Amino acid sequence: MVMEEAQSKYRSPLTDRYASDEMSYVFSDQNKFQTWRKLWTILAEAEMELGLPITEEQITEMKNNLNNIDWKRAADEEKARRHDVMAHVHTFGAAAPKAAPIIHLGATSCFVGDNTDLIVMKNGCGILCRKLAQCCDHLSKFAEQYKSVPQLGYTHFQPAQLTTVGKRACLWLQDLLIDLKQLQSTQTELKFRGVKGTTGTQASFLELFNGDHGKVEELDKLVTEKAGFSAKFTITGQTYTRKMDSIIINAVAGIGSTINKFCTDLRLLASLKEIEEPFAQKQIGSSAMPYKRNPMRSERCCSLARHLMGLTASPAHTHANQWFERTLDDSANRRIVIAEAFLTADILLNTAQNIMQGMVVYPKVIEKHILEELPFMATENLLMSMVKSGADRQECHEKLRVLSVEAGKQVKEFGKSNDMLERIRGDDYFTPIHKLLSDIVNPSNFIGRAPQQVSKFIKEEVMPEIEPYRHSFDKEAPKLNV
């Protein structure tokens, strides 16, 4: 019966299908309302330390009931009172009756609401930073392994000069590193709302402490420290500025554009059959076409990244439409947007990490594509070698132009392989370089400093950033639900 009821209601795919347990817990009701109780407890504890008539017995009773939430009572209270915070004040008071008279003393709803949101987002940023660092680690290993393997470069998705498999991976890695630094900075700069009262003036607390401004400031400082923050907002309205939400969600959404870029490139490479995401032994690519190897993980990432990037508009509009000290049209929007942003980013990083640990490279296909284009790209090197042997530069240029046109015709009009090198070998004019051809068109001669760039970038920029997270890395790739 319970199962039937569960199936008859909409459930978010973010939590039911994709997200990790740890990020789902961060945004769970259990964590939210337990944090409310912790905040009420540290507020009372700080007020007691500063001289208000609150007893150790009351504090102990509150601490003993942080997890003892009567969910049915809370739901009934909210239904009757139409106020979620007061519903939980009364529910907490019923569990800790001796403390009931001092729970929420001097506070407004935003004391628990806003401060909990800030705690939750700070913890969410910590999870995402760790997973970003782990993705950077996996991609660094891949880039280092393939730093010297030539690969056809593309601009405008048209063949361009060669790069290497590892160097291209560093383009993805660099974006991940930027996201990591951005999120670290955002997390570090995240301030606590603290105890500010109904419109941010701290008037209620000034009344509690009989006009003692010093004690009100000390209360704000104590509660902030007890909540695990090093800094607090000096100025707030009823809420902390919603500008902060916009900054945080933009930093989180940056992960979306990075993973979308990575997975789009990988989908294109899979179509070229050069590199593909891991494919399970019994995985089915298509119900109708048994041979298909669809890049479903990458496609899922691109789909969810689109959702994540689209969430950035809501916090900006919410901030723009906060009237004076506060209006409640932020509430319903924030309940959805903040949680979905963090959950979606979490899913993207879990899936990307799974992909990165199992990417499959096909060197022979990569080499085949290079050889289809390299003879044209090598014409300048061929020209220089002929000139060194005594040939006339202009005459040689014309010879190479004619052979290039003829070889190009074979490829485009007849679907044949590029036979440019065979044409050069069959032309006596190029006899001086016939024995040098293999060396001249060796793909490794066309990758510039790509291997050195990869090593330098990983050693000097990537490793110092991810080292603090290494102790917390999972050894295995995340297990994906679907």
Domains along the sequence of the chain with CATH: 20-102 (1.10.275.10), 111-362+461-472 (1.20.200.10), 379-440 (1.10.40)
pLDDT in tens, 54-112: 999 999 999 999 999 999 999 999 999 999 999 999 999 999 999 999 999 999 999 99
- pLDDT of residue 339 exceeding 80, the answer is yes
CA dihedral 298, 299, 303, 304 (to 10 degrees): -30
d(C-alpha 480, C-alpha 355), whole Å: 11
What type of residue is 315? Answer: P
Alpha helices in 149-212 (DSSP H): 165-189, 203-208
Tokens representing 364 are 């022979």
Q: Which of 185, 230, 271, 286 is catalytic?
A: 286
Q: Which of 8, 156, 287, 471 is catalytic?
A: 156
What is the residue whose two structure tokens read 């090197």? Answer: 381
d(C-alpha 114, C-alpha 89), whole Å: 16
CB of 316 within 8 A of CB of 243? no
Give bridge partners of residue 159 from the DSSP assignment. 154
- Find the mean pLDDT for residues 209-217: 98
- Find the mean pLDDT for residues 299-309: 97
d(C-alpha 333, C-alpha 314), whole Å: 7
- Per-residue pLDDT at 463: 98
Alpha helices in 293-392 (DSSP H): 296-310, 313-320, 331-356, 363-377, 379-388
What type of residue is 260? Answer: N
Query: Pick from 332, 442, 431, 449: which is nearest to 391 by CA?
Result: 431
- Find the mean pLDDT for residues 113-138: 98
- Per-residue pLDDT at 482: 56
**Distant-in-sequence, close-in-space partners of 178: CB < 8 Å, separation ≥ 6:** 254, 258
3-state secondary structure of 151: strand
Confidence of residue 294 (pLDDT cuts 50, 70, 90): confident
Tokens representing 386 are 């002929």
Query: Pick from 32, 200, 189: which is nearest to 116 by CA?
Result: 32
What type of residue is 221? Answer: K
d(C-alpha 436, C-alpha 421), whole Å: 12
| Known catalytic membership, residue 156 | yes
Angle between helices 331-356 and 313-320 (to 10 degrees): 160
The top-scoring range by mean pLDDT among 7-16, 274-283, 358-367, 473-482 is 358-367
d(C-alpha 473, C-alpha 133), whole Å: 9
Query: Pick from 404, 439, 161: which is nearest to 396 by CA?
Result: 404
- Per-residue pLDDT at 6: 63
- pLDDT of residue 5 exceeding 80, the answer is no
